[in-house]
A and B are shown apart, each in its own frame.
Chain A
Amino acid sequence: MTKIFSYILCFLMVVSCKKEGELFSNPSAEDTGITFTNTITETNELNILDYLYFYNGGGLAVGDINNDNLPDIFLSGNQVKNKLYLNKGNLQFEDISVSAGVEGNSTWNTGAVMGDVNGDGFLDIYVCAVVGINGFRGYNELYINNGDNTFTESAEKYGLDFDSFSSSAAFLDYDLDGDLDIYLLNHAVHTQDSFGKASLRNERNYATGDKLLRNDGDRFTDVSEEAGIFGGVNGYGLGVAVSDFNQDGFPDIYVGNDFHEDDYYYLNNGDGTFTESLKTHFGHISRFSMGNDVADINHDGFPDILSLDMLPEEETVLKSSAGDENVQMLEMRTERLGYHYQYTRNMLQINNQGENYAETALYSGIAASDWSWSALFADYNQDGEQDVFISNGIPKRPNDLDFIKFTSNEQIRKKLDNTKLVDQKALDLMPSGAYHNYIFEGKEALQFKDQSEKWITKDTLISGATAMADFDNDGDVDLITNNINQPATLYINKTDGKGNYLKIKLNYKKPNPFGIGSKVFSYQNGVLQYRELFTVRGFQASSEPFIHFGYPENTPIDSLVVVWPDNTYQTIKNVQPNQMLTVAKKENSALFNYSTLFTKKAPLFTKVEKNYGLDFVHEEDNYVDFNRQKLIPYKISDKGPATAVGDLNGDGKDDIFFGNSKFKPARIYYQTDTSFVEKTPVTVKNDSITENVDAFIADFNGDKMNDLFVVNGGGDFYGKMKPLNDVLYSNKDSVFVKTTLDAYFENASVVKPYDFDGDGDMDVFIGSDAVSYDFGALPNSYLFKNENGSFTPVKNEALQNIGMVTDAIWSDFDNDGTKDLIVVGEWMAPQFFSNKNSVLEKVMPSEEKLNGLWQSIVEFDMDGDGDKDYLLGNWGLNSKFKASKDAPMKMFYADFDDNKRTETIIATEKDGRYFTIANFDELSEQLVSLMRKKFANYKDFAGKPIEEIFDESILEKATVRYVHTLSSGWLENKDGKFSFHEFDSKLQLAPINTFLTYDFNQDGKKDILAAGNYFGVKPYHSRFDAFTGAVIYNAKDIQLTDKVGLNLSGKAVQKLNIVKIKNQDYLLVTINDNSVELYKLKNN
């Protein structure tokens, strides 16, 4: 009996026991009274087949509706009645939905937001609805707060009774006239088969188009058209964020659109209009954009953006879900139809002072959070860094590949042919997408740490709309989520005294008493934190109107600067943390000077508009490496062009050679007294078939005239095809005489001349990076000895088989007076060859495992100790590639299926096991005999490590190559031994392709300019476009160049050269598949 009793007791404890994470507890519905459940009922007439956003969930608005200083909760249901819960204190809530009159009349409710529409000091509620399809009736409802816990639905009166396909609405005062205007976010419901052109967004459509609604006091006026807001049939608006992104005093708008439509980035022109500017400010964006949020995560006073998508983190889900498009489809969507670069993953866009955004989600560790709806930034643990909560889950995964390809066929066809037929069966075949909510802890240097298992309990909820509030008035930030088929969940923050905080409520002038649009800058110990008050955030929700900061230390906040919506400001000095502060607007305060937020530095680089006649445009050819070798990790065909600077006609002026891609002629520009003139000699022009990857101008034949050495590659020519030969163009009587190194057929990557044997002529090292159609095989690199202008290879096995070479330098690393050779490359460590009596001998001055995807090397005294250190450009860390010394990235290279062709399979480590980067379809396409018979479906394949995908006997055949680090960094010289140091985060956001040595700041010491970015990867990887370029002065002083006049983000820089024009030094930037750029350097 006692046993039974204790069982019952135990059971009851488990049931009633509230769940606990380390940071948040989840009091139960019974305890709080919040029993609202957004119950979704699937019927034959209405399910995800009929309405694409059937699983998007309801809305959620939190705010103090009765001004008793306790935030109340409004939850909208898709098919169930809305609920309003009054906060009675002590986390007790009372359902007053019926008496308040807010249960709602629309058939299908979506987002719900609170804002003081009529400016009377009481929060009103706006509830969006989908109307006009599937028999959905009603309209967007506006509940005006009567001030006595009752509301009057007044949408028609205010002109807000839209019967369209609304997702959510955001409050902002875009015209700074003092009242709150509304941005209405709508979504398309048609699921047109073809993309259509991007220009579709220009034709307005009532039901699907977003709307900007100007508050004219007692009515709202649709000003979308005149304000420049798109409203087309392809807007799938799911996320909206308002923020003054460019800090000019006017609120701007970021709209996240699902599917192929681009997100919209509306910059407020300050005259009542907006300019959509996505493409000029973002390198790439999320593809299936869902909710988003904005916060300054790097303490620079500019808001950064997190846009959510649906990339799964877990291998089993990842490999059984439809993922990225293929290369050619992306090309069509971008180049032919006019859309921007979109990729399926979360994007963290770091705001570079309004100029452009550097996307760092992969580097930051928050790229994949599965089927994500809402993101809310806040300092949940109150340590001074912004954390982020991401709500997650979908009842059914409609992109499950087994469902798409195998199971759906029979069941769904019936449904389509005859809508009367029951077809729950088909839907039941889709796997559940109930996936836990995520919470990430913000760290320094743009890093986030997944704390989902610690801070919260891993749930199986399907959570959508999420809002923030301080429900228990203890100063830390609590959360609530609206869930599908489960009661809403409260997340009560238990940080309490463990961190330090400041909670600020604003008291602004009517009709915007809550001060929506205000900004607060907080400075503690020189650290800036910045927040704006916009309550509509995340997804289909609005949060309690307050501003919250966490602080690492319980020391006074030096100053708080509050900038009001009218751009006047007031400063409060010496504020104690750990208090709730109400700041009221002071009369006659001065206007805030936004220019103080922007870095002001004298530019080191000044763009030369017409390039002095250098009109060279490098054009890549149409060759797609992945069509030939479907599994290789990146292209080998886009490493050009070559650039060489030198005097080619003996007039003392710098001339320039630009190589080109295959079938496109190289160009030579001769400098005249006034400009550059293109006058390519016929010998060079006739060699247009070759792809010129590197070149050098020097006197190779000792006749005191400069010659041109060009090395060729391109990855398309193979075997003993002549276009792979490297060529010396000897300058004789102003014509070029061609000498071909006709016995050597390699994809050259670099040519580095040096008289290594001291016999007075220029010898050359030519490095090669890959073997065409045989990626993973080692090409041959050669040291050629110059004998009277003819070149013969020096026998040196170690050098010849060194690996997949990308760059090399001649540098006297052993300080014996002759230059030695250092070679870097991919899937290899930097290799040192000591020049001893004209023999290059391999030495090992570093014991570290340093295989990388090295792209570039330069000599530089980084630590100022007088010896030679070496800077190394690598792939960077903003990538899906993953490598460490303990868990290196692996390349398996073999003819796996015995068909006389090799395959290259890349695998990276995840939780101690190695998984292929390629998915089932990619592997099957290349290895049909090994894959399709072995795995009947995607489920069988997904989640399996590589040794379960391939039999041991097959894997054993493979040569394995490794990468131990992807970080760019430098080798510190310690008495001839080298140890590696990583650069900091700003140099890890993209591959660094090239370095240039020059005294840029004219302080008498050499500096290094680093540049990079790379796009030769599949859409799986997205684009590495975030590197603006950097000037490296020393180990401690590295400056991104966009602040000094050189912004190279979005450009795949291949070469940097100094060109002397009329005794002034200029920087020449050569960019793959783009025009060259010329910058005037600081006076010298």
Chain B
Amino acid sequence: MKRILLSLSVCFLLFASCQKEEKPIEVTSENLHEAIDQVVGIMIHDIFSPPVASRIFAYADIAAYEIMAQHDPNYNSLAGVVTDLKPIPVATETDNINYQVAALIAHMEVSKSLIFSEDRMEKYQDSLYTEWKNINETEFTASKDYAMQVVAHMKEWMDKDNYKQTRTMPKFTVNTDDPARWQPTPPAYIDGIEPHWMKIRTLAIDSASQFKPLPPPEFSLEEDSPFFKEVMEVYNVRNDMTEKGDASEEIAIAKFWDCNPYVSVTKGHLMFATKKITPGAHWIGITKIAARKVNADFNETLFAYTKTAIAIFDGFISCWDEKYRSNLIRPETVINQYIDENWKPVLQTPPFPEYTSGHSVVSGAAAKTLTSIFGDDFSFDDDTEVPYGLPVRSFPSFNKAADEAAMSRMYGGIHYRAAIEVGVKQGRDLADVVIAKLDKMTNEKIAFNK
């Protein structure tokens, strides 16, 4: 009797599971936010420099976007728009494909191929995949199969962006004879990073040098030279801040926008690092805040991410092109050498030449792009840095935020005024190209603040 009951119940269970009704898998913009947050966390752990981080964002977004755009007539493919991108393979069996699921899978798969700690990404994917499989295995499998085809297509394109080649190109050789040139800075005196980033294939702009800025003020220790005045401005701003104390607004601004992925700290033989998100990741975070504020749907959110990530990606290439062209010395080095041996900037000087300011270029580019999507006078509360122990800051618009981000580099003691002002302009100018190219993509312009 017992045995019969048991087998009956097994039968029932089997039957029940077979009979489970397959609902469509539902994917929302929150899934996308979460996947991106996941990648950001891994990037912090793996320690990616700001330019390299921007590449991970852009490629994952583009892969996902291409799948979405194939299905949603409101969006056009980026093939033929961003450099060398060919149309993704068209799905042969379209019946069971959930394009948003496929887009998200492609996003995660591309991200996974670009970060190092794959196990962390896999853990996240596995839990999602199990969930989706439970909901609708047919749809999940079809979507995943298609996503993987697209990922393979994307990888082929990504592989040709010169990234691999730049890995083995020469390290940056410090010019110790010329006092105007960049020197490694305390405390870790790290070699100049990514000296060949300008050789990475751009996405929207023609070339790394399309928005080549004016050269920086010529190095000079003459008191009334423009360069020296800019040095003294950084020095004096810092000193004024010291007088105002740690609670000053300038300190708050500098720290809020630090966005340094690897700040090394040395205490005797004890060394460690405090890590934060990169400038690019901060603006990706702002994109999330804006998308959430207007309740953007999955496709709208993905478009916003993609467009912003492309602007940031090109921004870094444009900026790095200038950095290793002008190869300018950092304020900390000049001041320690000629003015005040004990002077220390508020922020740790990042390991690459000064001009133009990377954060300024990227903030200018991202803010202008976001404005094109969400409109001007779009106020928001920026809580992106809360996980890193920093407060929320509120801004009346993206452009105002970008201005503050740029200026934060002077408060931080790591950039002169020219690098900031010219940098923001450089970013905004190149964003125009991104906006122009990508606005043409949508049949129906998305403007949430209408």
Contact = CB atoms under 8 A, between A and B. Distances in A.
Contact of A52 (B165, B170, B268, B272): B268
A193 B187 contact: yes
B20 interface: no
B3 interface: no
Interface in B189-230: 189, 191
A53 B184 contact: no
B267 interface: yes
B266 interface: yes
B269 to A, nearest CB: 5
A194 interface: yes
A328 B182 CA distance: 13
Interface stretch (A171-179, A329-337, A1040-1048): A329-337
B244 interface: no
A628 B168 CA distance: 8
Nearest to A333: B189
Interface string B264-291: 1111111111110000000000000000
B93 interface: no
Contacts of B118: 933
Interface string B424-440: 00000000000000000
B156 interface: no
Contacts of B389: 413, 417
A49 B167 CA distance: 36
Interface string A29-49: 000000000000000000011
Interface string A383-409: 000000000000000110001111011
Nearest to A936: B117
A194 B340 CA distance: 13
A408 B266 CA distance: 12
A328 B269 contact: no
B173 interface: yes
A624 B175 CA distance: 11
Contact of B116 (A49, A322, A416, A936): A936
Contacts of A196: 341
Given A405-B47, A408-B272, A409-B273, A627 B267 contact: no
Contacts, number: 112
Interface in B230-288: 264-275
B127 interface: no
Given A194-B187, A899-B167, A622 B272 contact: no
B449 interface: no
A335 B176 contact: yes
B344 interface: yes
Interface string B34-55: 0000000000111100000000
B186 interface: yes
Interface of B is mostly: loop
B336 A194 contact: yes
Contacts of B170: 627-628
Contact of B271 (A328, A399, A630): A399
A326 interface: yes
A624 B170 CA distance: 10
Nearest to B47: A405
B293 interface: no
B390 to A, nearest CB: 10
Interface size class on chain A is 35 or more
A405 B167 contact: no
B183 A409 contact: no
B171 interface: yes
A406 B45 CA distance: 6
Contacts of B267: 48-49, 52, 191
Contact of B274 (A399, A412, A626, A929): A412
Nearest to B116: A932
Interface in A10-39: none
B175 A622 contact: yes
B164 interface: yes
A901 interface: yes
B177 interface: yes
Interface residues of B, number: 42
A594 interface: no
A98 interface: no
Nearest to A401: B271
A191 B268 contact: yes
Nearest to A236: B268
A978 B273 CA distance: 58
Contacts of A328: 173-174, 184, 191
B173 A624 contact: yes
Given A326-B191, A336-B176, A899 B165 contact: yes
A194 B344 CA distance: 9
Contacts of B157: none
Contacts of A622: 173, 175-177
B271 A322 contact: yes
Contacts of A195: 186
Contacts of B172: 627
A409 B268 contact: no
Contacts of B344: 193-194
A973 to B, nearest CB: 46
A328 B181 CA distance: 14
A701 interface: no
B273 to A, nearest CB: 6
A398 B268 CA distance: 9
A322 B164 CA distance: 27
A898 to B, nearest CB: 9
B186 A412 contact: no
Contacts of B341: 196-197
Nearest to B177: A622
Contacts of A194: 186-187, 336, 344
Contacts of B44: 409
Contacts of A52: 267-270
Contacts of B444: none
Given A49-B267, A52-B269, A408-B273, A332 B176 contact: yes
Contacts of B264: 404
Contact of B184 (A288, A329, A408, A628): A329
A322 B189 CA distance: 14
A625 to B, nearest CB: 10
Contacts of A336: 176, 183
A332 B272 contact: no
B269 A899 contact: no
A331 B176 contact: yes
A585 to B, nearest CB: 45
A191 B168 contact: no
A901 B168 contact: yes
Contacts of A897: 168
A247 interface: no
A626 B268 CA distance: 29
Contact of A404 (B175, B176, B273): B273
B59 to A, nearest CB: 16
Contacts of A406: 45
B119 interface: yes
Contacts of B167: 899, 925-926, 928-929
Contact of B268 (A53, A900, A926): A53
Contact of A936 (B119, B173, B265, B336): B119
Contacts of A288: 269
A630 B168 CA distance: 9
Contacts of A627: 170-173
13 contacts: A49-B270, A193-B187, A196-B341, A288-B269, A326-B191, A331-B174, A399-B270, A405-B47, A408-B272, A412-B265, A622-B173, A627-B171, A932-B46
By Cβ-Cβ distance, the 4 closest A-B pairs, closest first, are: A52-B268, A194-B186, A408-B272, A193-B187
Interface of B: 44-47, 116-119, 164-165, 167-168, 170-177, 183-184, 186-187, 189, 191, 264-275, 336, 341, 344, 389
Given A398-B268, A627-B173, A932-B46, 17 more contacts: A191-B266, A194-B187, A194-B336, A197-B341, A322-B271, A328-B173, A328-B191, A329-B184, A399-B269, A409-B273, A409-B274, A622-B177, A627-B170, A630-B171, A899-B167, A925-B171, A929-B164
